[in-house]
Amino acid sequence: MIKSIETILADVPTIRPHKLSVTTMNTQTLVLVRVRCDDGVEGWGEATTIGGLNYGEESPESIKTNIDTHIAPLLIGLDATRVAAAMAVVRKAIQGNRFAKCAIETALLDAQARRLGVPLSELLGGRVREALPVAWTLASGDTGKDIAEAEKMLELRRHRIFKLKIGARAVADDVAHVLAIKKALGADVSVRVDVNQAWSELQAMEGIAALQDGGVDLIEQPIRAHNKAGMARLAQRFAVPVMADEALQGPLDAYSYATAAAADVFAVKITQSGGLMLAAQVGTVAQLAGVGLYGGTMLEGGIGTAASAQLFATFADLSFGTELFGPLLLTEEVLQEPLVYKDFMLQVPSGHGLGVAIDTDKLGHLRRK
């Protein structure tokens, strides 16, 4: 039986300002959910947003309030061993709130996998890989600093795929910035861009043409998420793959994007999809439709990153890799044992459930009082 549900907000400074077209992050707020069951098993989940309400329609505070006030009361007393049934109750009663639902579902699945003595990936179909290629985002806002940061990552053998956040400046300035970085890093290093919806379709045509000529490998969400027809035109016009991110808010969007051929690649995010089970369906739609898969992040800490890794390890096709570097952008680690990044890969935790444990003392210091 589900006995109690606790939600915790923890503000963790980033290692440097993280500049996106929609906001500059100096802190990340982790929303952590702890579910305790009457058999003594507990599970953890996480949801993060980017810049409060700058990126999506849920904020850390709304996630906490809506779980505490509306979602937890529906779940207390339900059978903890029947996660799908418990989530069906939540999904029937609660509109929207995909991030909150993801955090809750993750905690319930973590508890159930621990109870069964298996890694969470086994409840999601079973893993086909033990390590995931992991990109790093260069977003200091300064070309020289970004090049130095990338060179350090290559030397550490931590990342050799770099995603650049653009869209805040004029197209020509962004293109010059990206191509200077691409030139400095060379042909063997993958350079990609994420515009976070900032361009008009005309700007996108100009920008993508120049980036494609300069050897950029992937163009993420160049235009507004609702402009599916525009995304389809761009995907068709250019050889460089165009990826949907903000446009995918679950399997229905994935289906409609796949049938409209509106993206070459899907960025799958567990929060944005509304939970691990729905994110798995986004992955299935992509694989059925021949759309490439990329494991996305909302810059979660260790819990959300481990949860995403458990799912992405089940994807047969993961040709564009992942960006599960969230904990590395934060100055404080909330796990007892940090996730392992080596040889350009994130090792998928092999223990039961999420395979990670929270450092509750550390969290005690970081949590918002």
What secondary structure does DSSP assign to 105-145, as a single string? HHHHHHHHHHHHTSBGGGGGT--S-SEEEB-EEE-SS-HHH
Among candidates 156, 132, 69, which has minimal Cα distance to 315? 132
Q: Which residue has the tokens 């567990």?
A: 270
Distance, CA of 251 to CA of 231 (rounded, Å)? 18
One character per residue 111-150, x = contact with ligand MUC (rule: CB under 6 A): --------------------------x-x-----------
Residues at the interface with Mg ion (CB under 5 A): 194, 220, 245
Residue whose CB is nearest to ligand MUC in the complex, by number: 137
296 binds ligand MUC (CB under 6 A): yes
- Helix, strand, coil % (nearest 5) of the chain? 40, 20, 35
222 binds ligand MUC (CB under 6 A): no
- Which H or E run includes 171? helix 171-185
**Helix/strand/coil for 259:** helix
- Residue 323's binding partner, choosing from ligand MUC, Mg ion, none, with beta-carbon cut-off 5 to 8 A by kind? ligand MUC
Residues 40-59 that bind ligand MUC (CB under 6 A): 50
Task: Closer to ligand MUC by CB, 71 or 268: give it.
Answer: 268
Out of 28, 66, 112, 196, which residue is the one contacting ligand MUC (CB under 6 A)?
A: 196
Cα three-residue angle 336-321-27, rounded to 5 degrees = 50
Distance, CA of 141 to CA of 18 (rounded, Å)? 8
- Which H or E run includes 63? helix 60-66
Task: Closer to ligand MUC by CB, 197 or 281: give it.
Answer: 197
Task: Closer to ligand MUC by CB, 297 or 314: give it.
Answer: 297
116 token code pair: 């069964």
Least separation in angstroms between CB 194 and Mg ion = 4
- Residue 299's binding partner, choosing from Mg ion, ligand MUC, none, with beta-carbon cut-off 5 to 8 A by kind? ligand MUC
- Which H or E run includes 342? strand 341-342
Q: Spot the catalytic one: 165, 182, 228, 269.
A: 165
**323 noted as active-site residue:** yes
One character per residue 226-265, x = contact with ligand MUC (rule: CB under 6 A): -------------------x--------------------
Distance, CA of 28 to CA of 15 (rounded, Å)? 10
Least separation in angstroms between CB 111 and ligand MUC = 28
Out of 297, 305, 308, 314, which residue is the one contacting ligand MUC (CB under 6 A)?
A: 297
- Residue 190's binding partner, choosing from ligand MUC, Mg ion, none, with beta-carbon cut-off 5 to 8 A by kind? none
308 binds ligand MUC (CB under 6 A): no
Cα three-residue angle 148-149-153, rounded to 5 degrees = 115
**165 noted as active-site residue:** yes
Stretch that binds ligand MUC, among 70-78, 114-122, 185-193, 291-299 (CB under 6 A): 291-299
Among candidates 282, 260, 337, 358, which has minimal Cα distance to 43? 358
299 binds ligand MUC (CB under 6 A): yes
Positions in the binding site for ligand MUC (CB under 6 A): 50, 137, 139, 194, 196, 245, 296-297, 299, 323
**Catalytic residue list:** 165, 323
